[in-house]
């Protein structure tokens, strides 16, 4: 926080800072008007709920509520129009248990209940950034609750469109492959290693969980997608890619909101989506039937399998001679000094087998990772402008998605070394709120972008919905390890230029059960015109 | 013992003929896809496992780590196997797989040894300068080949496995190309894949630090180089080559083959239509590519007419490497066309017409030219390895190494081979960082005169130096480097410890038939990394020669001919360190030890 203060002194004199309304940090602070008010008296006005709060000085009536759901994203954006009526936008609703199985802290149902209460059952816009469980699982789990909502519009990335043949084909292929990979990894359950486990989790994120009764066939993600695409009466989702003109519901337009879609890149710029990698690395990885035989198969009949220990029978010449394993004999007799005994050979054979088995999972895991990155890159990236305040929601966008709008390129630029395109520069340096990409992972929010955001010297709020210790420690060199999410250096960088709030820094209470903060910290000093307020299971940013 | 002529003892044969696929099983028995490979004779145990104790020995061990079983090994000395020149090609008999893997691997080793002018050995672990004698566990003494190591569409060289893992997988249900849907595809039955992976293992044995990924060219270079070796092998398969020459009218560089009666125009529309009849000579790993739904061979030699500039930021090493492959093949076809043109001229003078089908003697002659040129290019590429700096190589370095090796080997260059190389690289903007001009002289590493003598080096013999001679060479080299201002002369950083990872005596035939002796010495310096910094390496390749352009070749007249540096210090050192840091950070490599830097072929080849 000290760092941030230093930055902001350039613009804010100590005197003015003192005059500003200060939020209580670390303790729940009741908003000026409690939200319960709206729940008890559902608004008669279909285009917005009644007054939820009164903006303080310097605020213009935006509230971004980040629910602490564990490892996942669930954001509720509420806008006050000139007459004080509230209009609501949901951006994702998901959680995923992750590799550690601890990502789902069991609060999403309570969060959904709060959302219903706050919105009074009407949401102007629902945005699904991409189809990973940590962004949509809540839609599936609370499908009955969601079905009761009235919704003004649903936005999804272009990749979900059923009218875009390329997208459709690949989405089908992708799901099929993810299911196959998942089955493959599950089939290997007996000798499950950490690596396989990681890979299986990746694929479960892509397909959703299978335990829910109705979801057994396709996974819970399918339930969520079905809800979003067909579950809201009279609403056909809009599928957007970068540059599309958005069709905002009228109530939001009237309230003064405008929006711009920055990602994903158009389907034609498929290179950016790592699609080539996908075809090479994943699509053909497994047996073509995509499932039933995705486990092991026998390339040769049982008659070809031999026991290497078996000494030769009379006249037999094709057997494993101890000499075969000389390379793996430890110690001096490896190099032609002295013969290899049967015992030497047996030990050597064990080392050989161990070495080869350890080399096995890498390719499978790489395939799983590629697929994962591909899905993340489908993320719908939306910039909202409400009365001059800019809010950027990027989903889990990874390199290719960012590159397209930040560097204005249609070819992959892995170095991310290009010069930032002037319009993108303008956006990045004028943000008021940034939803940190991919739960703070190092593979989202490119370095150049994080740096660019800091150059304006204009402090902003960064909301990072994440859960520490869910994904492994970072070792990018070694894909058998998980990816460190959130990534320490990135969050440090963001914290140095913004008021960064992590959802896992607050303790919450769900159904009377206390869930400790994973990374306890007090709320940071917000920039001028912003209040950060703790709720029972959320953090609110008032702008 | 002089009257050995009266001995009735049979002598060991020189060669062992073995049957293999020229390409892979998907091409069936057409077009000489079954070929007889004459490999060096080595005493073998079942496996086959080389029992000779030579430094370049290999062993095939059929362990399947996915199923955790062993498959029956082949005994190539069994009379029933010997008499028909090995087991006949079969996908269903793992013993044929072992035989083919052994044969193609042995053949690849021999090709390299021939071109390099010495016996090779496998990877040696990194040692300090005055390491105690003896083997380390990470030294590879026998290269292990695992024909069915895993159920994956992948094959890779892994020093941890002391060898090469070949995978097998089921072809896609949809779109399997020439394969039956769901059929099992074995990477160890692809001639190309074996050669490609063997090349990685051989290069890793030649140069201990070549695999360290310190700039984007490194991994790409390895992929390109291995592809080149595999591709040039295609031009030794005579039957296929003859057929391709007939069907392309001698224009081998066309990616599609025309059906016999089609004229050029029609052939072009075929090209546009697709690739039903693809030219096998310029395509790698056909079955693998088709089985994985990529519609054509894994990589094609002449696709991608892109330049380096367009691919400035392509970190995908196959794509980057494909530029290098295309450049080399551009040079190759230029030389081939020049040579073929002479034959066409003769043919026309004798009343032949270009538009007719090629007469058989002309096709034969073109076939010989193609084989000769391919062999020459392969040898140039292999020889160039010795002319590369010991660390941090780039495509530009490779061009300079090629130019220098060629100049040493054939100073006159009547066929303008060097010009073809230069132009091909220039078209793709593969340019050395440090050469002042794009001319032959400027591109060659600067040759020194004979002013810096190295005294006391033993010459050894063509079979390699003896143990004592190696010890003596090491002592002389250490003395030479420590002497006077030789560190400066050799572009070595002051006050940093150095190691000599390898030195090799080369006994090579010049184009005029004379024998030349050279000694290639790698000197490497390392600044270790820490928790916050990356390790950096520098050093020089020193080529010590007896053979000056003036004649020479006298014993005791031994001098430093080339110093090929990648300095660790000075402005150049700082520039490299900065570039490496930026590159590694982009890759997401963690700072720390040098083992982080090594290319992981399991990932690079993952399904590719």
> Is residue B150 within 8 Å of B66, Cβ to Cβ?
yes
Confidence band for B608, pLDDT divided at 50, 70 and 90: very low
> Is residue A178 within 8 Å of A206, Cβ to Cβ?
yes
What is the pLDDT, as a whole number, of residue A39? 37
What is the pLDDT, as a whole number, of residue B377? 92
B6 burial (CB, 10 Å; 0-12 / 13-18 / 19+) is exposed
Contacts of B51 in chain A (CB under 8 A): 323
> B321, B376, B577, B550: which is closest to B450 by C-alpha?
B550
> B589, B585, B538: which is closest to B566 by C-alpha?
B538
Instruction: Encode pLDDT of B417-465 as tens digits.
Output: 999 899 888 877 788 877 777 788 888 888 887 778 888 888 777 677 7
Does B110 have pLDDT greater than 90? Answer: yes
**What would the mean pLDDT of A232-254 be, rounded to a whole number?**
91
Of B137, B596, B607, the CB nearest to A330: B137
Tell me what percent of the residues of chain A surpass a pLDDT of 70. 71
Does A216 have pLDDT greater than 60? Answer: no
Between these two residues, B608 and B136, which has the higher pLDDT value?
B136
Assess A283–B contact: CB distance below 8 Å, yes or no: yes
The DSSP letter of residue A209 is: -
Contacts of B49 in chain A (CB under 8 A): 321, 323-324
> Is residue B429 within 8 Å of B308, Cβ to Cβ?
yes
Distance (Å) from the C-alpha of residue B40 to the closest C-alpha of chain A? 20
Among A20-29, B49-58, B79-88, the least confident range: A20-29
Residues 6+ apart with CB under 8 A from A330: A347, A348, A351, B137
Cβ contact, residue pair B144, A327, below 8 Å: yes
What is the pLDDT, as a whole number, of residue A196? 66
Residues 6+ apart with CB under 8 A from B401: B384, B385, B386, B387, B388, B445, B564
Chain A residue at shortest CA distance from B71:
A305
Residues 6+ apart with CB under 8 A from B159: B123, B138, B140, B204, B598
What is the pLDDT, as a whole number, of residue A215? 45
Distance (Å) from the C-alpha of residue B64 to the closest C-alpha of chain A? 9
What is the pLDDT, as a whole number, of residue A485? 73
A162 burial (CB, 10 Å; 0-12 / 13-18 / 19+) is exposed
Assess B150–A contact: CB distance below 8 Å, yes or no: yes
Q: CA B376 to CA B370: how far, in whole Å?
A: 10
Q: Most confidently modeled of A41-45, B74-78, B252-256?
A: B74-78
Return the domain boundaries, chain A.
Answer: 2-7+47-289+378-542, 306-363
> Is residue B96 within 8 Å of B48, Cβ to Cβ?
no
> B13, B113, B28, B83: which is closest to B383 by C-alpha?
B113
Does A409 have pLDDT greater than 50? Answer: yes
Q: Most confidently modeled of A93-102, A133-142, B273-282, B514-523?
A: A133-142
Confidence band for A388, pLDDT divided at 50, 70 and 90: confident
Contacts of B158 in chain A (CB under 8 A): 359
Q: CA A352 to CA A343: how far, in whole Å?
A: 14
Of B49, B148, B316, the CB nearest to A299: B148
* Bridge partner list, B559: B453, B545
Assess A482–B contact: CB distance below 8 Å, yes or no: no
Residues 6+ apart with CB under 8 A from B488: B494
Confidence band for B264, pLDDT divided at 50, 70 and 90: very low
Confidence band for B295, pLDDT divided at 50, 70 and 90: very low
Of A355, A367, A477, the CB nearest to B590: A477
We find that the CATH architecture of domain B15-206 is Roll (3.10)
The DSSP letter of residue A70 is: B
> Residue written as tokens 């026991």?
A307
Distance (Å) from the C-alpha of residue A129 to the closest C-alpha of chain B? 26
Q: CA B21 to CA B89: how far, in whole Å?
A: 7
Cβ contact, residue pair A281, B608, below 8 Å: yes
Distance (Å) from the C-alpha of residue B88 to the closest C-alpha of chain A? 17
Q: CA B492 to CA B495: how far, in whole Å?
A: 9
Assess B488–A contact: CB distance below 8 Å, yes or no: no
Between these two residues, B389 and A13, which has the higher pLDDT value?
B389
What is the pLDDT, as a whole number, of residue B606? 41
Instruction: Encode pLDDT of A115-158 as tens digits.
Output: 999 999 999 999 999 988 899 999 988 988 999 999 999 999 99
Number of inter-chain CB pairs under 8 A, A vs B: 196
Residues 6+ apart with CB under 8 A from A199: A181, A185, A361, A364, A365, A368, A369
> A491, A273, A303: which is closest to A397 by C-alpha?
A273
Does A192 have pLDDT greater than 70? Answer: no
Assess B202–A contact: CB distance below 8 Å, yes or no: no
Contacts of A284 in chain B (CB under 8 A): 153, 172, 291-294, 607
Strand B536-545 with B515-527, pairing: antiparallel
What is the pLDDT, as a whole number, of residue B496? 87
> B413, B543, B548, B462: which is closest to B114 by C-alpha?
B462
The DSSP letter of residue A436 is: -
B590 backbone dihedrals φ, ψ, rounded to 5°: -80, 140
What is the pLDDT, as a whole number, of residue A47? 52
Assess A475–B contact: CB distance below 8 Å, yes or no: yes
Confidence band for A294, pLDDT divided at 50, 70 and 90: very low
- Sign of torsion over alpha carbons B180, B181, B187, B191: positive
Assess A476–B contact: CB distance below 8 Å, yes or no: yes
Among A162-171, A211-220, A351-360, B169-178, the least confident range: A211-220
Strand A62-67 with A74-80, pairing: antiparallel
> Residue written as tokens 């607050």?
A506
**What would the mean pLDDT of A377-389 be, rounded to a whole number?**
91
Cβ contact, residue pair B590, A475, below 8 Å: yes
Confidence band for A42, pLDDT divided at 50, 70 and 90: very low
Of A323, A414, A479, the CB nearest to B603: A479
> Is residue A152 within 8 Å of A123, Cβ to Cβ?
yes
Helical residues (DSSP H) of B235-316, grouped into ranges: 238-247, 264-273, 286-291
Confidence band for A63, pLDDT divided at 50, 70 and 90: very high
**What would the mean pLDDT of A356-384 be, rounded to a whole number?**
77
Assess A451–B contact: CB distance below 8 Å, yes or no: no
Residue A515's alpha-carbon distances to A138, B7, B505, in angstroms, are: 19, 91, 70
Structure tokens at A115: 């959302």
Of B69, B73, B174, the CB nearest to A288: B174
Residue B255: Cβ within 10 Å count: 18
Assess A354–B contact: CB distance below 8 Å, yes or no: no
Assess A317–B contact: CB distance below 8 Å, yes or no: yes
Contacts of A360 in chain B (CB under 8 A): 65-66, 150, 152
Residues 6+ apart with CB under 8 A from B561: B447, B448, B518, B543, B544, B545, B547, B548
Return the C-alpha torsion angle B397, B402, B405, B408, nearest 10.
-110
What is the pLDDT, as a whole number, of residue B164? 94
**What would the mean pLDDT of B595-599 be, rounded to a whole number?**
69
> Is residue B317 within 8 Å of B326, Cβ to Cβ?
no
Between these two residues, B144 and A159, which has the higher pLDDT value?
B144
Distance (Å) from the C-alpha of residue A29 to the closest C-alpha of chain B? 42
pTM, entire model: 0.69
Confidence band for A275, pLDDT divided at 50, 70 and 90: very low
What is the pLDDT, as a whole number, of residue B388? 93
A523 backbone dihedrals φ, ψ, rounded to 5°: -65, 145
Assess B72–A contact: CB distance below 8 Å, yes or no: yes
Residue B478: Cβ within 10 Å count: 14
Structure tokens at B229: 């070796």
Cβ contact, residue pair B72, A306, below 8 Å: yes
The mean of the pLDDT values for chain B is 79
Assess B536–A contact: CB distance below 8 Å, yes or no: no
Confidence band for A12, pLDDT divided at 50, 70 and 90: very low
Distance (Å) from the C-alpha of residue A349 to the closest C-alpha of chain B? 10
Confidence band for A170, pLDDT divided at 50, 70 and 90: confident
Structure tokens at A429: 């340096």
What is the pLDDT, as a whole number, of residue B135? 79
**DSSP codes, A142-175:** THHHHHTSEES-EEEEGGG-TT-HHHHHHHHHHH
Residues 283-342 of B with CB under 8 A from A: 291-294, 313-316
> Residue written as tokens 């034969």?
B364
Q: CA A361 to CA B271: how far, in whole Å?
A: 40
Q: CA A20 to CA A63: how far, in whole Å?
A: 18
Between these two residues, B478 and B131, which has the higher pLDDT value?
B478
Residue B513: Cβ within 10 Å count: 6
Among A67-81, A517-531, B192-206, B305-319, the least confident range: B305-319
């Amino acid at each position: 926080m000290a760092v941030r203060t230093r930055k902001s002194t350039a613009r804010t004199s100590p005197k003015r800072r003192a005059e500003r309304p200060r939020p209580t940090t670390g303790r729940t602070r009741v908003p000026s008007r409690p939200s319960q008010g709206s729940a008890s008296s559902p608004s008669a006005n279909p285009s917005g709920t009644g007054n939820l709060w009164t903006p303080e000085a310097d605020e213009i009536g935006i509230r971004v509520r980040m629910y602490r759901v564990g490892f996942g994203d669930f954001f509720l954006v509420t806008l006050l129009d000139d007459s004080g009526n509230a209009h609501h936008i949901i951006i994702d609703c998901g959680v995923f248990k992750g590799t550690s199985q601890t990502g789902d802290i069991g609060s999403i149902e309570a969060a959904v209940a709060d959302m219903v209460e706050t919105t009074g059952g009407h949401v102007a816009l629902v945005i699904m950034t991409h189809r990973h469980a940590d962004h949509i699982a809540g839609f599936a789990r609370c499908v009955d609750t969601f079905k009761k909502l009235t919704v003004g519009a649903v936005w999804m990335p272009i990749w979900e469109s059923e009218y875009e043949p390329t997208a459709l084909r690949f989405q089908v292929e992708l799901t099929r492959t993810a299911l196959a990979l998942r089955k493959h990894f599950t089939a290997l359950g007996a000798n499950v290693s950490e690596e396989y486990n990681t890979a299986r989790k990746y694929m479960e994120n892509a397909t959703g969980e299978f335990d829910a009764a109705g979801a057994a066939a396709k996974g819970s993600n399918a339930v969520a997608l079905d809800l979003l695409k067909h579950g809201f009466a009279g609403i056909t989702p809009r599928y957007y890619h970068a540059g599309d003109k958005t069709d905002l519901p009228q109530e939001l337009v009237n309230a003064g909101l405008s929006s711009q879609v920055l990602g994903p890149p158009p389907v034609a710029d498929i290179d950016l989506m790592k699609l080539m990698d996908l075809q090479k690395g994943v699509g053909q990885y497994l047996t073509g039937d995509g499932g039933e035989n995705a486990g092991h198969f026998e390339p040769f009949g049982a008659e070809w399998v031999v026991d290497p220990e078996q000494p030769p029978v009379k006249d037999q010449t094709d057997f494993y001679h101890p000499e075969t394993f000389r390379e793996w004999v430890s110690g001096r007799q490896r190099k032609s000094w002295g013969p290899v005994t049967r015992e030497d050979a047996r030990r050597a054979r064990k080392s050989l087998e161990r070495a080869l088995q350890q080399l096995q999972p890498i390719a499978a895991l790489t395939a799983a990772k590629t697929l994962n990155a591909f899905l993340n890159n489908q993320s719908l990236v939306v910039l909202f402008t409400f009365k001059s305040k800019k809010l950027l929601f990027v989903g889990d966008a990874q390199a290719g998605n960012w590159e397209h709008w930040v560097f204005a390129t249609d070819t992959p630029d892995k170095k991310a070394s290009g010069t930032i395109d002037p319009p993108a520069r303008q956006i990045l340096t004028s943000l008021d709120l940034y939803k940190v990409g991919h739960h703070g992972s190092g593979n989202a929010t490119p370095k150049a972008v994080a740096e660019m955001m800091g150059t304006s010297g204009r402090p902003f709020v960064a909301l990072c919905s994440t859960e520490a210790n869910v994904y492994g420690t970072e070792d990018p060199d070694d894909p058998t390890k998980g990816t460190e999410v959130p990534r320490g250096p990135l969050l440090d960088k963001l914290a140095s230029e913004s008021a960064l709030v992590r959802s896992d820094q607050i303790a919450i209470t769900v159904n009377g059960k206390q869930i400790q903060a994973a990374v306890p910290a007090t709320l940071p000093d917000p920039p001028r015109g912003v209040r950060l307020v703790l709720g029972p299971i959320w953090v609110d940013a008032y702008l | 013992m002089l009257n050995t002529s009266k001995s009735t003892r049979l002598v060991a044969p020189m060669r062992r003929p073995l049957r293999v696929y020229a390409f892979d099983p998907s091409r069936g028995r057409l077009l000489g896809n079954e070929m007889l490979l004459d490999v060096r004779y080595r005493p073998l145990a079942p496996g086959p496992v080389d029992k000779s104790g030579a430094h370049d020995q290999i062993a095939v061990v059929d362990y399947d780590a996915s199923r955790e079983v062993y498959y029956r090994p082949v005994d190539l000395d069994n009379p029933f196997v010997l008499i028909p020149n090995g087991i006949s090609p079969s996908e269903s008999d793992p013993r044929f797989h072992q035989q083919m893997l052994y044969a193609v691997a042995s053949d690849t080793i021999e090709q390299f040894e021939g071109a390099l002018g010495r016996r090779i050995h496998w990877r040696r672990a990194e040692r300090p300068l005055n390491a105690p004698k003896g083997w380390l566990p990470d030294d590879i003494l026998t290269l292990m080949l695992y024909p069915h190591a895993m159920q994956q569409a992948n094959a890779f060289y892994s020093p941890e496995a002391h060898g090469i893992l070949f995978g097998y997988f089921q072809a896609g249900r949809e779109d399997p190309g020439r394969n039956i849907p769901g059929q099992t595809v074995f990477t160890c039955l692809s001639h190309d894949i074996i050669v490609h992976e063997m090349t990685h293992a051989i290069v890793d044995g030649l140069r201990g630090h070549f695999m360290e990924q310190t700039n984007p060219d490194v991994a790409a270079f390895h992929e390109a180089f291995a592809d080149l070796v595999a591709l040039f092998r295609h031009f030794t398969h005579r039957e296929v080559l003859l057929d391709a020459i007939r069907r392309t009218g001698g224009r081998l560089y066309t990616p599609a083959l025309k059906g016999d009666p089609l004229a050029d125009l029609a052939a072009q529309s075929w090209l546009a239509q697709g690739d039903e009849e693809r030219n096998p000579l310029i395509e790698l790993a056909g079955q693998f590519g088709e089985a994985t739904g990529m519609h054509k061979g894994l990589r094609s030699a002449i696709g991608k007419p892109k330049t380096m500039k367009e691919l400035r930021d392509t970190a995908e090493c196959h794509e980057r490497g494909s530029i290098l492959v295309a450049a080399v093949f551009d040079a190759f076809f230029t030389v081939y066309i020049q040579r073929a043109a002479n034959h066409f001229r003769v043919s026309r003078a004798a009343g032949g017409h270009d538009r007719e089908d090629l007469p058989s003697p002309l096709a034969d002659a073109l076939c010989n030219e193609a084989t000769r040129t391919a062999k020459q290019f392969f040898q140039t590429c292999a020889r160039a390895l010795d002319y590369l700096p010991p660390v941090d190589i780039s495509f530009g370095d490779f061009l300079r190494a090629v130019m220098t090796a060629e100049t040493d080997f054939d100073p006159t260059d009547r066929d303008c081979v060097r010009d073809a190389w230069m132009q091909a690289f220039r078209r793709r903007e593969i340019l050395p960082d440090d050469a002042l001009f794009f001319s032959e002289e400027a591109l060659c590493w600067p040759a020194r005169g004979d002013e810096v003598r190295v005294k006391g080096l033993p010459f050894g013999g063509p079979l390699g130096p003896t143990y004592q001679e190696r010890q003596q060479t090491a002592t002389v080299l250490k003395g030479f480097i420590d002497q006077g201002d030789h560190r400066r002369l050799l572009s070595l950083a002051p006050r940093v410890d150095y190691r000599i990872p390898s030195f090799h005596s080369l006994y090579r035939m010049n184009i005029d038939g004379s024998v030349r002796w050279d000694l290639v010495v790698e000197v490497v310096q390392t600044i270790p990394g820490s928790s916050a910094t990356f390790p950096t390496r520098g050093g020089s390749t020193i080529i010590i020669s007896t053979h000056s352009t003036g004649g020479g070749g006298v014993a005791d007249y031994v001098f430093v001919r080339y110093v090929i540096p990648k300095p660790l210090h000075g402005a150049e050192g700082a520039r490299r360190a900065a570039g490496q840091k930026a590159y590694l950070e982009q890759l997401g490599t963690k700072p720390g030890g040098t083992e982080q830097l090594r290319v992981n072929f399991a990932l690079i080849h993952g399904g590719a």
